[in-house]
Structure 1
Amino acid sequence: MRSVKYSGAGQAAEVVSLVEAEIPRPGAGEVVVRVGAVGINPVDVKIRAAATDFGPIEYSDRPGWDVAGVVSEVGEGAGRWTTGDRVFALAAFPSAAHTLADYAIVAAADLASAPASWSTAQAGAAPLVALTAWQALEAAGVVAGHRVLVLGGSGGVGHLAIQLAKARGAHVIATASTAKHDLVRSWGADEVIDYRDAERLAVVPRVDAVIITVDDTLPPHGAVGDATAVITITGLSDPQRDQLAAWGAAPVARILVHADGAQLAEIAALADAGAATVHLDSTFALEELSAAHERVESGRVTGKAAVIVDPEL
């Protein structure tokens, strides 16, 4: 089978190659997935460029975490999964998973049935960002009637956070460039504000939760009051944390997504109910992985980029 390999740290065009490898065999509690599509995320390009662990995220020269495809072999004790099942997963994250290959090992507990309403490319692109959004909303305690501010509403996590917050019954305010406002509204945002419009941002009234998906960004002061939950997926400096604490935000937390098949199954149910979709910015063949990395590194991705490993699935 084909498998992606990194030769070391560096630019994608310099270090990414395809090599031949043995088709893996499942152990106890595992399945082998014939891979249809894999999402490419900012963490993929960061860890490739450094060729070292990225905090608790494990580096491997055989990359990939997102995956969608069809079960091709089932290990002992792998639960309800059978050959031919159409599935998707965030495999093993933050440990190495090696999904950028024709076949991949996935723990049965990480798997969910892929939404019938999504293409394989959408299902492959979704797991990391969908679970990040889900877990951020959980950490913020978002429930029906809450007001939620999503900073970075047109990105991978942001566009799922909008939809999943709406599915919980929240009122959603999102930031995005003006050119993307109609698209962000189509995902369910009740209000959309240009992230450069300081005057408009300054008058956003207090919200119950802020989801930060972009680097080095704080919510406007007026949006944060007593018990506003601020959840970031990018991290905050100590001065930024102190500022939020002074404004009364609680909790202020950074989350790192973890694999969870049960949560993915809930997201899939919402997808098939028409409450969540994945916007594909661009797709690439496996042989074009370097170009996919370059697209993500550009910072101009709207929604998600995906690699199509097997176009027949």
Structure 2
Amino acid sequence: MAVNFVIPTKMKAWVYREHGNVADVLGLDPELEVPKLQEGQVLVKVLAATLNPADAARVKGVFQLPGFSLPAVPGYDLAGVVVKVGREVKELKVGDEVYGFMWHAKKDGTLAEYAAVEESFLALKPKKLRFGEAASLPVVIQTAYGGLERAGLSHGKSLLVLGGAGGVGTLIIQLAKEVFGASRVAATSSTGKLDLLKSLGADLAIDYTKVNFEDLPEKFDVVYDTVGKGN
């Protein structure tokens, strides 16, 4: 049975018209144009979107893609329902529940009612995940997985995660144990999040407010720093 959606010409979206701190420059625009589709894109009715540190950097003007211009809509991650497909779309269809990201976006991101996204950057949403859960995954899980892969973590190696309770850190711990086969995973966090680290699979939870990881007698094959000096 075909599914049809009534698509408006205008939508609500969070927009910034100048660079600066997110709280100062981001505002709700109730009359933004619904994006037009290119042939290989699908139009997604956004039901959940998440923000990452990269979004704040983009709003501040720290980095931007070629061809970028203001005003713009922030946001890379999303989850929602396909309401229209371009002519070159092969797999997805109207009515599909999807999640993915818009890292390619030069101007308009996911903090809007609708988003035009390349089919290749989307996947069917797992049925056991809620939209909000699915939208929280794309950027952070790619960051976590890509870092572990580049660092050469493999079966039997040990890992130390600096900042294990953050969005990327929580996924690093799980991927290291369940996918990469790490023999031992240690992670740092503040006092109140040590139990979280253990529940995710960390063999050693380190309270960075009390212990300097550089003073640990134990050595690790890989160290993944999710914090960095700039944060």
The TM-score by the shorter chain falls in which range? Answer: 0.7 to 0.9
Separation (CA, whole Å) in 2 of partners of 1:174 and 1:59: 40
Instruction: Evaluate the alpha carbon distance shift between residue 92 and residue 11 of structure 1 in structure 2; reply closer, same or farther with a 3 A threshold.
Output: closer
Asked if 2 retains the 8 angstrom alpha-carbon contact of 1:37 and 1:68, the reply is: yes
Partner residue in 2 for 1:78: 89
Q: Which secondary structure does the structure 2 equivalent of 1:112 belong to?
A: strand
- Which residue is 2:77 aligned to? 66
Q: Which amino acid aligns with 1:90?
A: F
In the TM superposition, residue 23 of structure 1 has moved relative to its aligned partner by 2.0
1:185 Cα deviation from its structure 2 partner: 1.0
How far the C-alpha of 1:122 sits from its partner, in A, is: 1.2
Q: How does 1:96-107 map to 2 (within 5 A)?
A: 96-107=107-118
What does 1:23-38 align with in structure 2 at a 5 Å threshold? 23-38=34-49
Which of residues 165, 185, 190 in structure 2 aligns to 1:154?
165
Q: Normalising by structure 2, what TM-score? A: 0.85
Residues in 1 aligned to 2:216 and 2:23: alpha-carbon distance in whole angstroms: 45
In structure 2, the CA distance between the partners of 1:76 and 1:164, relative to structure 1 (3 Å rule), is same
Q: Percent identity between the aligned chains?
A: 39
Counterpart contact for 2:65–2:106, Cα < 8 Å: no
Q: CA deviation at 1:162?
A: 0.8
Q: Does 1:145 align with 2:156?
A: yes
- Is the contact between residue 51 and residue 59 of structure 1 (CA under 8 Å) also seen in structure 2? no
Looking at structure 2, the residues matched to 81 and 41 of structure 1 have their Cα atoms a distance apart, in angstroms, of 26
Q: Normalized against structure 1, the TM-score is what?
A: 0.64
The number of residues matched between the two structures is: 217
Q: In angstroms, what is the RMSD of aligned CA positions? A: 2.3
1: distance between equivalents of 2:101 and 2:112?
A: 15
Query: Which of 20, 25, 31 is matched with 1:10 structurally?
Result: 20
Question: Is the Cα contact below 8 Å between 1:92 and 1:107 reproduced in 2?
Answer: no
Q: Which runs of 5+ in 2 are unaligned?
A: 1-10
Say if 2:44 and 2:84, in contact at 8 Å, map to a contact too: yes
Deviation, 1:14, is 2.9
Q: Matched residues in 1 for 2:147 and 2:207: separation?
A: 22
Pick closer, same or farther for the CA change 1:74–1:199 going to 2, 3 Å: closer
Aligned counterpart in structure 2 of residue 194 of structure 1, from 177, 187, 207 = 207
| Structure whose residues are more often helix by fraction | 1
| Residue in 1 that maps onto 2:220 | 207
Counterpart position of 1:53? 63
Distance 1:32 1:199, change over 3 A: closer
Aligned residue number for residue 130 of structure 2 = 119
Partner amino acid, structure 2, of 1:194: D
1:39 aligned residue: 50
Moved more, 14-23 or 200-209: 200-209
Structure possessing the higher relative contact order (Cα contacts under 8 Å, 6 or more residues apart): 1
